[in-house]
A and B are shown apart, each in its own frame.
Chain A
Amino acid sequence: MHPVLILVARRVALGVLLLWAASVLLFAGTMILPGDVAQSILGQSATPVALANLRAELGLNDPPLTRYLNWLGGVLQGDLGTALTNGQDIAEALGRRLGNTLFLAATAAVIAVPLAIGLGLLAARYRDRWPDKVISTFTLATVSIPEFLLGYIAIFFLSVNFRIFPSLAAVHEGMSLGERLYAVSLPALVLVLVVLGHMMRMTRAAILNVMESAYVETAELKGLRPFAVVARHAFPNAVAPVVNVVMLNLAYLVVGVVVVEVVFVYPGMGQYLVDHVSKRDVPVVQACGLIFAAVYIGLNLVADIVSIVSNPRLRHPK
């Protein structure tokens, strides 16, 4: 078998193992938390009989291993359980929320990734000259400002003062794509500003690192245009570090948007998670945690596979 396939298969297997470990941790973590779910559902005034009944109904009296296996078995079949607080099917409620979060993340990513790489290339091309300084300072500033503050600044200027975009990112079923995009414009803008800096800086650093190498000098001595030197000779060798940081930021766009979703009252995963954490709704927290872990591990898996595949030494062994 081709060595790259072996490496990729090994990496995928490691990802699955990691995801399983995450599920164990999530389950164990919610077990360690103090308090009793039945108690918190029924409140302080519950009778002992009612508590015992509810515990039996929820399966809280089974040994932990049985409960874990039941839960895992359900998850593998797409059944994430029922929310304790309102009795809704988690998979169904979560599905809509996840869809919203992914839509927002994708909107931000489609703008941020090409923009960041483009700005990174530009900054590398004009290293230490004014375009580089402007880009670096601007992205550093947007990374440094906390995202909720960025959100309120954006609301203040763009929806209160100039009334261009809506301050509440309310979406509902039956909206057209254009309406949806318009609704999420401000949170998307904030997310773009937050993730731009990392990706741009890594692109700039990776390109500059490669530009120092002898093969770039060879390319320059062939009389190639500066753009051809960067695009054909420098960029292919800078892909791996750039993809890594891009994937980390994409993961952030999915799992780290809690604050931004709350600021814009956007009905995504983050809001859903925050609501249920405060209500101690364990099955929902577990389900959200598992999905976040899957997104994180999955995207980093993609980054690693791209690194493996973009390495000619691995792709074409001796």
Chain B
Amino acid sequence: MADRLLEIENLRIEATAYPPGEPPREVVLVKGVSLTLERGKVLGLIGESGAGKSTIGLASMAYGRSGVRLTGGAVRLNGRDLMKEPASGLRALRGKEATYVAQSAAAAFNPAKRLMEQVVEAALAHGVASRKEAEARAVRLFGKLGLPEPETIGRRYPHQVSGGQLQRVMTAMALCPEPDLVIFDEPTTALDVTTQIEVLAAIKEAIRDTGVAALYITHDLAVVAQVADHILVLRGGEAVEYGETQQIITAPREEYTRALVSVRSIEHEEKPEGAEPVLSVRGVTARYRGTGFDVLSDVSVDLPAGQTLAVVGESGSGKSTLARVITGLLPAREGEIDFAGRRLSPALAGRSRDDLREIQMIYQMADTAMNPRQTVGTIIGRPLSFYFGLRGEARRRRVQELLDQIEMGSGFIDRYPAELSGGQKQRVCIARALAAKPRLIICDEVTSALDPLVADGVLKLLLRLQAEEGVAYLFITHDIATVRAIADRIAVMYRGRVQRYGPKSAVLSPPFDDYTDLLLASVPEMRRGWLEEALERRRMESAGN
């Protein structure tokens, strides 16, 4: 058929893995996946990390990251079998017939070159257009993608524009040589939800206007539902289900797809008000050394014992700084912090060992929060020795109890972090925090780096532990769905201030202030047409103001 742009047949991709302490071994990343993409259509590739989405995306340009090899099947682009093309043939098609939009535009742009230079580079290298034509086209694309000052933004360097703008410049870079196929690899995942909606809309419009075909890779079904015509669900390098977008999100056939669609189904009743606060933050203002502005201004929140306060906001709103102030890593300039009936010293050095023990932290990157050369037993055992003086057999028994509490069996105590999955690593970090018998655990984006199903499991575990141990959580997140699942109280932060604060039911009910409204309205919903409605509402509101 003439309108078949990309055909992948029974594709098999292998790589060499180098597990620590073991000989290298061959792993199969993609096991016989087939797909077809017609001209001008958008196919969504969805799945959790390790499903092979990006690997397949790059394979459609016959590109493998280091050590990755295409070992079987066929990849046909515009009727040519890419696996039989020589390197020069592949170079001739990369950047001309197929282009790529990476997840992190901040890393994917060369920091030493101006944006325009990079945007037109592929078009010039392949002789698609003269410099003048290519630059004119780039300026048109900048305008179409809603970038400010399209005429001059190309003269800037990557660090001189924001993350959301950079992602749009990258889309312009992919569209500039007028390719037949664009591969979008998680293009909005690294963005704040309020920015994501704008970039998503810009990408969708650009796809429609240029008639280009696209592979849209993401782990977020609600996002892909807005742009894709068809969806292919992947798991562990195999295709699970393929169908029209509407069918996948409303009537999934496979068990796994159903789990993806119904994820974040936790129902959490908020606990009643009136309990004694375990943590009380009053009028806290803080700034980093050597900067001239406050990152936190006049922040006041209360956290009742055994409850969860969710702190929501976009990056740069001061969420993590609040955690640093409460833990004493960044002493507040003004304001007080009361904890369990006593006043906390602003600086870490002035706090007692009990102050330290009773406030524990769990981080976003469980990977880097653990010493890779210590076993799980050592990692969890350390606070047991430090705070309670447990040694030898007693310590090992207690570690085992904690491992049972986080639903990990006895086989894990002698393992190293590298031998654990992402979810298991985060569970070990939770156990380490619990080992200190804290009254407050600060959870900083603890589920953001996890796949939705795994994140769900971790949230359920946190809720159960709260019921058993009566520990309070200060839960920092940018994800509204997580907030709904776990919070009793919510503080919405914007530019270092608490914008809105109260019980969950009150904060999430109208009437809203402008920012909370924007935040809530920007969370993608899993139905077609949501994007258009949300944009329409935004337009109406900005017209009304």
Most buried by B among A213, A222, A228, A233: A222
CB of A219 within 8 Å of the partner chain: yes
The reply on A218 being an interface residue by CB < 8 A is yes
Q: Find out whether the CB atom of A215 lies under 8 angstroms from the CB atom of B100.
A: no
From residue A236, how far is it (CB to closest CB) to chain B in Å? 4
> Which residues on A sit within 8 Å (CB–CB) of B90?
223
Interfacial chain B residues near A228, Cβ < 8 Å: 125
> Is A172 positioned at the interface, with any CB of B under 8 Å from its CB?
no
Q: Which of B95, B102, B113 contacts A214 (CB 8 A)?
A: B102
Q: Which residue of A lies closest to B61 (CB)?
A: A221
Q: A218-B102, A222-B121 given as contacts; is B111 within 8 A of A312 (CB)?
A: yes
Q: Dominant SS at the A interface? A: helix
Enumerate A185-234 residues with CB–CB distance to B below 8 Å. Answer: 213-215, 217-225, 228, 232-233
Given contacts A236-B112, A312-B159, A316-B160, contact A225 B107 (CB under 8 A): no
Assembled-state Cα–Cα distance A310/B110 (Å): 13
What 1/0 mask marks residues of chain B from 349 to 366 whose CB sits below 8 Å from any chain A CB? 000000000000000000
- In the complex, residue of chain B having the shortest beta-carbon distance to the beta carbon of A224: B125
Contacts A214-B107, A215-B111 hold; do A223 and B159 have CB atoms under 8 A apart? no
Q: Are A237 and B112 in contact (CB under 8 A)?
A: yes
B122–A312 CB distance below 8 A: no
Chain A nearest CB, measured from B43 CB (Å) = 19
Given contacts A213-B107, A215-B110, contact A221 B63 (CB under 8 A): yes
Tell me how many residue pairs across A and B have CB atoms closer than 8 Å.
Answer: 76
Q: Does A313 contact B (CB under 8 A)?
A: yes
**Which residues from A are CB-within-8-Å of B108?**
214-215, 217-218
Question: Is B34 in the interface zone, CB < 8 Å from A?
Answer: no
Q: Evaluate contact between A237 and B111: CB separation under 8 angstroms.
A: yes
A312 to B115, CA, bound (A): 12
Complex CA gap A237/B122 in Å reads: 20
B530 within 8 A of A: no
A223 & B94 in contact (Cβ 8 Å cutoff): yes
* Cα-based distance from A219 to B58 in the complex (angstroms): 14
A237: chain B residues within 8 A (beta carbon)? 110-112
What chain A residues lie within 8 Å of B99 (beta carbons)? 221-222
- Residues 52-78 of chain B: 1 if any A CB is under 8 Å from the residue's CB, otherwise 0? 000000100101010000000000000
Residues on A with C-beta less than 8 A from B121 are 219, 222, 224
Q: Is B84 an interface residue (CB 8 A)?
A: no
Closest Cβ of chain A to B183, distance in Å, is 9
Assembly CA distance A233 to B159 (angstroms): 16
The answer to whether B94 and A218 touch across the interface, beta carbons within 8 angstroms, is no
Interface presence of A318 (CB below 8 A): yes
- CB-defined contacts of A232 to chain B, threshold 8 Å: 113
Contact: A316 with B100, CB < 8 Å?
Answer: no
Q: Is there an interface contact between A220 and B63, defined as CB atoms closer than 8 Å? A: yes
User: Residue B110 contacts which of A220, A225, A233, A313 (CB distance < 8 angstroms)?
Assistant: A233
B96 proximal to A (CB < 8 A): yes
Give the residues in chain B near A313, CB-CB below 8 Å: 111, 157, 159
B160 touches A223 (CB 8 A): no
B424 on the interface (CB 8 Å rule)? Answer: no
State whether B107 touches A223 (Cβ < 8 A). no
CB distance from B162 to the nearest CB of A (A): 10
- Over the window 230-260 of chain A, the binary record of Cβ atoms lying under 8 Å from chain B Cβ atoms (1 yes, 0 no) is 0011001100000000000000000000000
CB-CB under 8 A from B157, the residues of chain A are 312-313, 316
Contact call A223/B95, Cβ cutoff below 8 A: yes
> CA separation between A223 and B87, bound complex, in Å?
10
B100 touches A221 (CB 8 A): yes
Given contacts A215-B110, A236-B113, A237-B110, whether A222 and B159 have CB atoms under 8 Å apart is: no
Task: Give 7 nearest A-B pairs by CB, closest first.
Answer: A222-B95, A223-B94, A223-B95, A214-B107, A222-B122, A236-B112, A223-B91
Residues on A facing B (Cβ under 8 Å) = 213-215, 217-225, 228, 232-233, 236-237, 310, 312-313, 316, 318
18 A–B contacts from the bound complex (CB under 8 Å): A215-B109, A215-B110, A218-B108, A218-B118, A221-B58, A221-B100, A222-B94, A222-B95, A223-B91, A223-B94, A223-B122, A225-B91, A228-B125, A236-B110, A237-B110, A312-B157, A316-B159, A318-B159
